[in-house]
Amino acid sequence: MESTTPVHDSEEYLVQQAIKRDREAFTSLYERCIDRVYRHVYYRVSNHDEAEDITQEAFVRAWKAIDRYKRTGAPFVSWVITIAGNLIIDHYRKQQKVEFTDEIEKISEKDLGNQIPGPEKQAEMNFDNAVIKKAVLRLNGDKQKVILMHFIDGLNYEEVAKALNKSEGAIRVIQYRALSDLRGMVKRE
Amino acid sequence: MKKEKILAICIEEIRSGKSAVEDCVKRYPTLEKELRALLEIAAALKPDEVSPSPEFRTRAKLHLFDDQQPAPMKISDRFRSWFVLTPVKISASVLLGVVIFAAAGGGTVYAAQSSTPGQILYPVKTGVENIQLTLTTSHVEKGRLYLQLAQRRINEMAQQTKLNHNVNPQSLTTVTNLFDKALNELSLASDQQAIKNTLSYLSVTSLNEELELKTVVSTSSQNNQPLLQQIIKEAGSANTIAEVAYINQDLLKQKLSVTDAKMDAGQFSIEGTLLSIQNNIWDIGGTNILNINYSGTTPALGSHVKLTGLVVGNNTFISNVEVGEEAEQTTAPTEVQGQYEGNNQDGTANISGISVNISSANAVQLAQGDTVELQGDATDNNLSVTSTQSSAAKTTSITGVLTAVNLVNGIVTVQLTGRQVKVDINNAQIQNFAGTTTLKIAGLKLLIGHEIKLEGLTKNGSIFSATLVEVRLVE
């Protein structure tokens, strides 16, 4: 049987320890992942307070459910992001709103500017980005997942494939179709 | 090649900076138009450049292991629930409302986080803290929270001092109580690993606090100086407790206080041949160390040992035992390092709670509080003073294992109580413990894994600076 001794600061080791209820290991994972989880949530809710609430809750739930974590080859962060994604859906369901689309319609350029820290960052945020973001959040199912995982969460094709339990070829096809859909939506705006 | 694969390759090349959109589309002229349109869309897909605030990170980390977590709510819902409250419900609900608001990071609570004593939002800040304390039930988490609050109070003092404001003398009592309560909580906790993590946190934060206050104390008003000096001392004591208890958690059972002068005076090290062990009394080259508390492996008699620890009351807490080779024929010289606390009734000198005989031939005048090093052999049980440092000249120092040397920036990384700290040594003298050999920074790289002592520490932004680096060369 293959036996490996993971490096003590490796994600693999930390996850193994966290599954054994090692709080320090889980805290290390939290520190490694929080920026990416927060950015993912913020991208989808565009609200600082809500992004914080959901991010925090995602980690609390991840800790509670860590013994059910299955190593798929995708980075640990993608699992927490999946939990956060479910929370976002619940959150909008509780608001009895149509998920994303109606909400995104309400985002004005001013609102977006207010939520981006620093004047230099505000300058970078132009209308096109807001339109594209709105379009991404209108994509359905795997298309949205692939675009978010690859472009927003920073996962590579292999990691996306493992996270979604598909082949890399399938991910490339979904990506192609998703970008084509986005192109169509942006043209119509 | 399939167009999906071509698109994927182009996206990766563009994202890694290897190609521009135009370079890529030119390679595939039949797909040029379609590829360009998709690549332009792909180029616009990027995350918002936001990151969670430091306050949120800390708060979220604090609540990672909470069993009960308030469900995420939208701000609008929170306010809506306030309007349906009847007056009778309000008083009972105020606490709950503040809890939810604090947990969710409402605007007022955020604004209050940077307030200092005397400002209008300061009671909000302390109110939220009290609620956090009420809601925290685990001893370790509570201990850590007390330490975070102590750190916060000290930062406020430093901030007020920089602004030439008088610091309320009550703040001293507050900080002392917070440190002591933290230690008490840790003494009641049972999760050894969690205690260790908190002590590691205390070790580094207390050092930071000590240095931060040292940078402001010299320019502070006469009113503030005694108060700040006392807190510097308490932070130093907290650091000592963390260092020793990290290795020997039995120390926490002593019901410690950071105001106990022993925390500073009781630190010692002794090096020599372990001659005997009887009833928790270790004889190191003729010097008896009483009531030893040590849970590690007992070294073999006759071996050369270096014990480091702290004497509290009648107990000696060992934080480190280094064992060398067994001594041959003649015993190795004995070295003791600690603080001179006067003479005992039997005429022996009290060095950090350890009784030693000082050779009458060695006519060095010692003042109480001096850090002293003594050396001798076991033949007559007498030690000679080899170096002293007056209590007034004492500087902040840390001792740890050198783990990395950055030659370009002149920064060393030292493993300290479970954590690593970076220290700038660009302006430091480097020598071995004997003080005779001057080393170069490049030479330090060969000494990774050895213990080093960094003295004259100051804080420069987020990094420590040292004026002296001493390296113990283990043979």
Mean pLDDT, rounded, for A95-112: 38
B98-133 pLDDT tens trace: 554 555 455 666 667 777 888 888 888 888 888 888
CA-nearest residue to A46 within chain B is B48
Please state the separation of Cα A158 from the chain's center in Å. Answer: 16
**Residue range(s) defining the domain that contains residue A176:** 11-188
Which residues on neighbouring strands pair with residue B322, listed in sequence order? B306
A102 to chain B nearest CA, in Å? 16
Task: Name the DSSP letter for residue B70.
Answer: P
Per-residue pLDDT at B165: 86
CATH 3.40.50.720 fits B398-471, yes or no: no
User: In angstroms, rounded to a whole number, what is the distance separating the alpha carbons of residues B85 and B90?
Assistant: 6
Q: Which of B393, B375, B400, B389 is closest to B454 using CA atoms?
A: B400
For residue B407, give the DSSP letter.
Answer: T
Helices (H), B399-456: 441-444
Euclidean distance between CA atoms B248 and B257, whole angstroms: 17
How does pLDDT run across A33-58, given as a tens digit for each residue?
999 999 999 998 888 888 988 999 99
pLDDT, mean over chain B: 79
DSSP assignments along B362-383, one per residue: ------TT-EEEEEE-TTT-EE
Contact check, Cβ <8 Å, A136/B45 = yes
Best mean pLDDT range from A64-73, B137-146, B351-360: B137-146
Q: How many CA atoms lie within 13 A of B78 on its CB side?
A: 22
Residue for token digits 């002149």? B410
Distance CA B424, CA B465 (A): 5
- For range B445-468, the mean pLDDT: 80
What letters, b where the CB count within 10 A reaches 16 and e where it falls short, cover A112-122? beebbeeeeeb
B80 touches chain A (CB under 8 A): no
The residues of chain B that CATH labels 2.40.50.140 are 398-471
* CA distance between the termini of chain B: 64
DSSP string, B105-162: T-HHHHHHHT--TTSTTHHHHHHHHHHHHHH--SHHHHHHHHHHHHHHHHHHHHHHHH
For residue A145, the model assigns a pLDDT of 92
Confidence tier at B363 by pLDDT (50, 70, 90): low
pLDDT of residue B252: 92
Closest C-alpha to B157, from B210, B112, B88: B210
Whether B54 and chain A come into contact, CB under 8 Å, resolves to no
A contacts of B193 (beta carbons < 8 Å)? 22-24
- Contact between chains at B49 and A124 (C-beta distance less than 8 A): yes
CB contact under 8 A, B48 and A116: yes
> The CATH number of the domain where A154 resides is what?
1.10.1740.10
- pLDDT at residue A55 in the model: 94
The domain tally of chain A equals 1
What SS3 state is found at A40? helix
For residue B452, count CB atoms less than 10 angstroms from its CB and return exposed for 0-12, middle for 13-18, buried for 19 or more: buried
Q: Quote the percentage of chain B above a pLDDT of 70.
A: 83
Q: What ipTM score was computed for the predicted complex, to two decimals?
A: 0.77
